Amino acid sequence: MNIIHYCFGLPPYASGGLTKYATDLFYEESKNHNVFIMLPYKYKKELRFKIKGKKILFYSSLPCSLTYGVKEPDDFIKKINPNKFEELIKKLKIDVFHIHTIQGLYLEFLEVLKKLNVKIIFTAHDFYPISLSSKYYLDKEKNDLNNVKLSLTCPSTKKLYLSRSPFINGLKKFKFIKKIFNKKKNIDVIITEKYKNNYLEKSKKLYDYYLKILKLCDVIHYNSKLTSDIYKKYIDVNSVIIPITHSDIKINDVKKSDSNILRIGFFGEQREEKGYNLLIDVLDNIDGNFKLITYGKDNLIKRSYIDYKGPYEYDDLKDIYKNIDVVLVPSTNIESFGFVVIEALANKTAVIVSNNVGSKDLVNPNYIFNNKEELSILLNNLVDDKNRLNDYFKYDLKIKSFSEHVKEVEENLYV
Condensed to tens digits (0 to 9), the pLDDT of residues 289-323 reads 999 999 998 888 999 999 999 999 888 999 999 99
What is the mean predicted confidence (pLDDT) over 343-358? Answer: 97
**Has residue 402 got a pLDDT over 60?**
yes
- Cβ contacts of 99 within 8 Å, gap of 6 or more: 6, 105, 120, 121, 122, 123, 217
Is the Cα dihedral 78, 81, 86, 92 positive or negative?
A: negative
Q: Give the model's pLDDT for residue 181.
A: 56
The strand pairing partners of 240, in sequence order, are 221
**Has residue 90 got a pLDDT over 70?**
yes
The strand pairing partners of 36, in sequence order, are 4
What is the topology classification, in CATH, of domain 262-391? Rossmann fold (3.40.50)
| Upstream peptide bond of 11 is cis (omega within 30 degrees of 0) | no
Distance, CA of 415 to CA of 409 (rounded, Å): 9
- Model confidence over 222-254: pLDDT tens digits? 999 999 999 999 999 999 999 999 999 989 989
Asked whether the beta carbons of 207 and 215 are under 8 A apart, the reply is: no
The end-to-end CA distance of the chain, in Å, is 10
For residue 214, give the H/E element and its range: helix 193-215
What is the topology classification, in CATH, of domain 2-246+404-414? Rossmann fold (3.40.50)
Asked whether the beta carbons of 244 and 124 are under 8 A apart, the reply is: no
Which segments within 138-276 are labelled E, that is strand?
219-222, 239-241, 262-267
pTM: 0.91
**Has residue 11 got a pLDDT over 70?**
no
**Nearest residue to 40 via CA among 71, 78, 74:** 78
- Cβ contacts of 181 within 8 Å, gap of 6 or more: 68, 155, 159, 163, 172
Cα radius of gyration (the chain): 22
pLDDT, the chain, mean = 91
- Model confidence over 165-198: pLDDT tens digits? 655 555 555 565 556 555 544 456 678 999 999 9
CA distances from 362 to 33, 115, 137, 330, 346 (A): 30, 39, 22, 15, 11
Q: Give the model's pLDDT for residue 160.
A: 83
**SS3 of residue 372 by DSSP:** helix
**Nearest residue to 371 via CA among 325, 338, 339, 331:** 331
Cα 415 to its chain centre, rounded Å, is: 25
What is the mean predicted confidence (pLDDT) over 31-37? Answer: 95
**Has residue 9 got a pLDDT over 90?**
no
Residue range(s) of every CATH 3.40.50.2000 domain in the chain: 2-246+404-414, 262-391
**Nearest residue to 139 via CA among 273, 311, 287:** 273
